[in-house]
């Protein structure tokens, strides 16, 4: 045996031993191709239709939820389907175009906020025909968009009832979810609340009241500003403004609200 081979024989045995102990590399599983948007949309619609009931449709009417086309699916079931589908903005857009109430609700749970465009948000907002659709989109999707604060300012100027409601429902959702923006953006939007407080349309005045209370619950500083505004509105000669103000004063001074503020500042 040549001397060089003899000298390297222990090293060779050691390398062979390590090779036996090393786990075999598993073949990587092929990545399944993304399923086409039309296919996923059709399946989602079929699922929604199969889970609709007359009882749920009748319940929608009792709560003032109007829709040109609805299957009668509970929000819980729509959320469950949204989790199964996962984020898919293409599907959200396709669902919205169907005009089906539940499909549009589902868009809130599968849409991707970073992919929303200003034009798209405006288009969907113009389609709102119930407080439920408006609030669900604001609460579940729009408030996570970087365009949200701009849309509050734009929609607050609208004369359309549900677009104007969307402005203040969205402001409320932004305040409630607290994404670390600080107080400044909310202080800048408080004048919009005061200006809209005389709008006596039911869905608008309730959203304005909701926004005032929600902003006031974000921090001690905002609470002081919101409470001052609420007291001012409560003394207004306008009946709607008085209602907004009095109800907001009551909510902002409630023990539950004051307890939450104490925890936030503690």
Average pLDDT over residues 45-54: 97
173 and 127 together in one domain: yes
Burial, 48: exposed, middle or buried (Cβ in 10 Å; 0-12, 13-18, 19+)?
Answer: buried
pTM of the model: 0.86
Residue 122 lies in a domain: yes
Q: Is residue 12, in this structure, part of any structural domain at all?
A: no
Question: What integer pLDDT is reported at residue 31 of this predicted model?
Answer: 54
What pLDDT, on the 0 to 100 scale, is given for residue 180?
82
Residues 100 and 131 in one domain: no
Per-residue pLDDT, 178: 80
* pLDDT for residue 6 is more than 60: no
Q: How far apart are CA 239 and CA 153, in angstroms?
A: 25
Question: Are residues 263 and 143 both part of a single domain?
Answer: yes
Q: Express as a percent the part of the chain with pLDDT over 90.
A: 82
pLDDT-based confidence at residue 2 (cuts at 50, 70, 90): very low
Residues 124 and 89 occupy one common structural domain: no
Range of the domain at 132: 117-266
For the segment 147-162, what is each residue's pLDDT rounded down to a tens digit?
Answer: 999 999 999 999 999 9
* Assigned domain for 51 exists: yes
Q: Is 266 inside a domain boundary?
A: yes
pLDDT band at 123 (very low <50, low <70, confident <90, very high): very high
The pLDDT-based confidence of 25 (bands split at 50, 70, 90) is: low
Q: What is the mean pLDDT of residues 177-182?
A: 86
What is the model's pLDDT at position 176? 93
- Check whether residue 203 and residue 84 sit in a common domain: no
Give 87-104 pLDDT, tens digit per residue. Answer: 999 999 999 999 999 999
Query: How many structural domains is the chain composed of?
Result: 2
| Residue 4 pLDDT exceeds 60 | no
Tell whether 146 and 191 lie within a shared domain. yes
Computed on alpha carbons and rounded to an integer, the radius of gyration of the chain in Å comes to 27
Q: Is the pLDDT of residue 20 over 90?
A: no
* End-of-domain residue from the set 90, 111, 132: 111
Average pLDDT for 119-133: 97
Q: Are residues 96 and 143 in the same domain?
A: no
- The stretches of the chain forming alpha helices (DSSP H) are 3-21, 37-50, 54-62, 75-85, 89-98, 101-110, 118-126, 131-140, 148-155, 161-177, 184-196, 202-216, 220-234, 239-252, 255-265
Residues 74 and 49 reside in one and the same domain: yes
Picking from 111, 145, 165, the residue at the C-terminal end of a domain is: 111
Whether residues 93 and 130 fall in one domain: no
- The mean pLDDT value of the chain amounts to 91
Mean pLDDT of 178-192: 93
Task: Specify whether 255 is located in the same domain as 133.
Answer: yes
pLDDT class for 265, splitting at 50, 70, 90?
confident
Q: Which of the listed residues 85, 111, 137 is the one where a domain comes to its end?
A: 111
Copy the structure tokens of residue 102: 């539940």
Can you give the CATH number for the domain in which 161 is found?
Answer: 1.25.10.10
């Amino acid at each position: 045996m040549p001397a060089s081979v003899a000298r390297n024989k222990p090293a060779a045995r050691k390398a062979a031993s390590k090779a036996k102990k090393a786990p075999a590399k598993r073949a990587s599983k092929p990545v399944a191709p993304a399923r086409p948007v039309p296919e996923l949309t059709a399946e989602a619609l079929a699922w929604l239709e199969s889970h609709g009931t007359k009882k749920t449709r009748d319940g929608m009417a009792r709560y003032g939820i109007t829709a040109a086309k609805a299957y009668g699916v509970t929000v819980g079931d729509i959320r469950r389907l949204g989790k199964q589908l996962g984020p898919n903005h293409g599907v959200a857009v396709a669902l919205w175009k169907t005009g089906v109430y539940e499909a549009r609700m589902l868009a809130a749970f599968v849409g991707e906020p970073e992919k929303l465009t200003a034009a798209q948000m405006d288009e969907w907002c113009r389609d709102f025909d119930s407080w439920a659709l408006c609030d669900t989109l604001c609460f579940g999707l729009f408030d996570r968009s970087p365009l949200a604060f701009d849309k509050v300012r734009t929609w607050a100027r609208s004369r359309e009832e549900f677009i104007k409601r969307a402005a203040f429902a969205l402001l409320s959702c932004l305040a409630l979810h607290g994404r670390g923006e600080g107080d400044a953006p909310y202080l800048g939007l408080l004048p919009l609340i005061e200006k809209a407080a005389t709008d006596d349309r039911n869905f608008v005045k309730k959203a304005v009241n909701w926004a005032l209370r929600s902003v006031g619950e974000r921090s001690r500083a905002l609470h002081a500003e919101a409470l001052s505004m609420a007291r001012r509105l409560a003394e207004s000669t306008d009946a709607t403004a008085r209602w907004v103000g009095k109800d907001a004063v009551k909510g902002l001074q409630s023990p539950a609200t004051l307890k939450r503020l104490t925890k936030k500042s503690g």
